Amino acid sequence: MSNGTENVEVFENLRLELRRGCLSLAVLTQLRTERYGYTLRKALADDGLEIDEGTLYPLLRRLESQGLLVSQWREEDKRNKRFYRLSPTGEAVLGQLLAEWQRINTSLDKILQEA
């Protein structure tokens, strides 16, 4: 029983590790168009990448503090919302990340086919 639980824990940790990098890439890509938190989460969920509030908002702050995003509080539908979009630096970094992603993807495909 404990072995099964350990396996679940190991899988969960590895899954989170795998997701972490992918989420940053997905968020940066989605923010080529300006969005606020909820619509960003919804857009990601619609594409199959669910992300909870406790993960998204710290990630947005981290990306903003790294200069990859810019944000602005603005009124929409009589409510104040914080809109995020990619900064010029973010656009450059996203380009590099996407190229890296393609390289990793190609390599992984190759490795998986060989296996």
Partner 1 sequence: MSNKNPQELVDRYLQAVRFWLPNDRQQEDLVHELGEDLRSQIEAKEDELGRPVNQAEVAEILKRCGVPMVVAGNLAPRRYLIGPVIYPVYRFVMKMVLLWILVPVFLFIVGPVNLVHAKHWSEALAETLGSLWSGWFISAGIITLVFAIVERSQAHVAAVCKWDPLTLPPLRKKQERQPSLLKAACEFGFNIVGLVWLLLVPQYPFLALGPAAGILKAGPIVHTFYLPFVLVSIVALVRSAITLARPQWTWFPHLSQLTQSALMLILLNFMIEAITKTPGAWPIVMLQDAVRDSPKYLKVAAIVNMSILISVASTWLGLCIAAILQTREFLRSVRKRISAPQRSAFIGVQ
User: How far is residue 95's CA from residue 44's CA, in Å, rounded to a whole number?
Assistant: 19
**What is the contact mask toward partner 1 in residues 2 to 41, using x (rule: CB under 8 A)?**
----------------------------------xxxx-x
> Nearest distance from residue 39's CB to partner 1, in Å?
8
CB of 4 to partner 1, least distance (A): 26
Q: Which has the closest alpha carbon to 26: 1, 6, 48?
A: 48
**Smallest gap from residue 81 Cβ to partner 1 (A):** 5
Where b means 16+ CB within 10 Å and e means fewer, 32-41 reads eeebbbeebb
How many Å apart are CA 27 and CA 36, to the nearest integer?
11
Selected from 53, 66, 72, 100, the binder of partner 1 by CB under 8 A is 53
Which of 48, 79, 114, 115 contacts partner 1 by CB under 8 A?
Answer: 79
What are the backbone dihedrals phi and psi of residue 47, each rounded to the nearest 5 degrees, phi first? -90, 10
Q: In the complex, which residues of this chain contact partner 1 (CB under 8 A)?
A: 36-39, 41-42, 52-55, 57-58, 61, 79-82
